Chain A
Amino acid sequence: MSTAAQPLYRSQRLALRYFTAAIALFGVMIAFGLLSAAYYLFPSMLFNVFNFNTSKIMHIDILVIWLLMGFLGAVYWYLPKELGREVAGIRAAEITFWVFCLAIALVAATFLFVQYGSANEFTLWFINQGRKYVEAPRWAAIGIVAILLVFSWNVVGTCVKAHKMTGIMWVMVLDLIPLVVVYLDAFPADTNMSTDLYWWWWLVHMWVESTWEVLIGCIMALVLMDVMGTSRRIVEAWLYIEVMLVLGAGILGLGHHYFWIGTPQYWLAIGGFFSALEPLPLLGMVVHAVYDAGMHRLRTSNQPAFYWITAEAFGNFIGAGIWGFMMTLPQINLFSHGTQWTVSHGHFAFYGAYVCGVIAVLYVAKQRVTGVPLLAGHTWRWGFGLLNLGMVGMVMALLLAGMAQAFYGRAIGGSTLMAFTTASENLWFKSGMYARMLFGVIFAAGYVALVYDLLRAPRSAALPAAQPQPA
């Protein structure tokens, strides 16, 4: 790994700004997660002042935004290194960063103080579009498209100006197309709820289970070369296979969101079939992670990044693969749909697939900025341990609560309002909500430890015997 002896590129300084914004928003997201969890314990809390729905909007919209910022930061970090030159259009990229921040502040202020509006065009344009995960008003959605277009121009323009195209860059450039285009399809004003949801899922599913998976695959390929010294040929060969398999099952896996929204019945078969195949490539990734970890463990110069990369491979398999598979066949999903069971999977999958990967990149940046040849020590372990413990505890609590809802409220009670209320009073459900809060606090403590460790100056340590060759 190269050290701070060489100056940073402008785009790497921009990346650091993106990372700072991302980690700050991660904190805000956790705060609203804790607040949302508190409503389950004190349901009348802040009644008519600040309701659960707004708190949850803040929590999940910020989730999407901070991860996106983490991805953009990671790409701006690695682009000059990969292509050997400053990013094309860097000035525009710097400006869009500040525009992005301003837009987030304005949307957050609208959510916090205006909250909702009447059912008319004005509300759609300026207050809230009412689409889960992407509630931001339409002007902000257009702003996101503009930011992604500038980002795409930066990536493609740099490849063109550098007269260089690597395998990883090919995959990334092709991935930019769905990254922008799929975002656009989510916002037509369709008054038919089924068609509206049909297209909205294109965005949510295609982003999280396809486009983002490919993007994080490219980022992880760059991190693996950097942190573990894995050769380019190996990461690229692996990236192609992974992309083929993930997209092969992931695209039509979209069907598992179409079971109950009024789409034709054949989606039951398509969704169940393709999403049942989704754990297969994830198993291959586990084998790959063990192989890489074993081959390079003693040689890595960045311990925290190494551990977070490994956590990513396992977290992705467990959170997306196991948790997703449990409820992906329509006969099960009929009962589990919309319970805390889904929430459990949502947390685990997002965390495993993306959060761990972004944290790994933060440590890569930390090592480069501080210029230490070996990033090790003990403090990072607190963040690693507490965040993982908090997340695993939270998802187990949510799983039990969700199973209680499916069992008592759906299968026994028949999904009536009364059954829903009875299930919400059930001891398993209530204990699950308390346990979620407890582990949420542990997770928050892990976040504090992570930020502390990222900010504190590292102690210098001796290099291990053999160093990986920098990519």
Chain B
Amino acid sequence: MAVAAAPAVPAKRKELSQSYWSLVWYRFKKNKLGVFGGILLIVLYVSFALIPEFLAPYALENRSQFVEAPPTPIRFVDEQGRFQAPFVYGLERRVDMVKRLRTWVPDTDRKYPVRLFVQGDEYLLLGLIPMNIHLFGIDADPREARIFLLGADALGRDYLTRILYGGRLSLLIGLIGQFLTIVLGMTLGVISGYYGGPVDMFVQRFTEFLAAFPNIPLFMALSAAIPNYWSPIAVYFMLTIILAFLGWGGLARQVRGLVLSLREREYALAAKSFGASDRRIMFRHLLPGTTSHVIVIATLSIPGMILAETALSWLGLGLRPPLTSWGTLLQDAATIRAIRFTPWLLWVVPPILLTIFAYNMLGDGLRDAMDPYSGRG
């Protein structure tokens, strides 16, 4: 028995020889919801942040006469009940006597086939490759007819296009902002936990100050401090930095707590006994022990940051036109008049919700995979 079992041992050993991260990956893969959230996020980031120019049928600022045109559905059946290749009707201006408003209604005499990979507005793909192919569009002179899958805004711009482009700033502010938060929070957390004493005292009181200070007034003050002659891009980065600045405290506290417990682990002492520098102990021995927690916390707090941008821009404190983000779009959508007459502007809400759900699913999945109590930490 024992002899027969012996050859199996090396194989088993090999399989066990995994680093912490491959173990995490193995456990994460088994979590369907987490994987789904991750894939969803990849899809969202690719379509909104990387290639919205290609997915959108028009350029961001391409205006038209079709002011506040409602969504144009893609049709397969014409007015005689015949099946056809997908097409849209042209738009005709009418005055709605009930709403006492000029509106657009389908003009069934004009039909424009919907095509894939049509030529249209010029753009630079990924900021590099000049192109004019769009995923879909219609074969028509843009002055004469357009496709508005999600309607048009008050300047006749395609709203789907605007949502796609707007996602870039909103999604990236979450990512970049969180990245800054992590860098700040981890560095200060580990320094505070490792050195203790006055440094710790200072960092602690400062994070408490930040946490105790009401965010909106603080933000108003900070954004009032941004000079209005700054370029929109500078404002965007400033906003990111401000969000990160407000957000690092919580993370720093968590990292500090972990470092306090890890510091007493003998492997940190061992490194010190061999003459390791403080920097090496902090960044090579203590920080890696906190990364799994930090990743989970960060993943779960990116939505907060995206929401913060949205909310602040909506309040008029964050990004301003001509920058287009989900927040500035929401600003246009969330008025009584818009809800009454152009409700399609609320289409900006589903992508925001989808992003938040996706991050939460991913974050939960990661937490389960890295849970320090379910296995080796």
Asked if A and B bind, the verdict is no
Residues of A whose CB lies within 8 Å of any CB of B are none
Residues of B whose CB lies within 8 Å of any CB of A are none
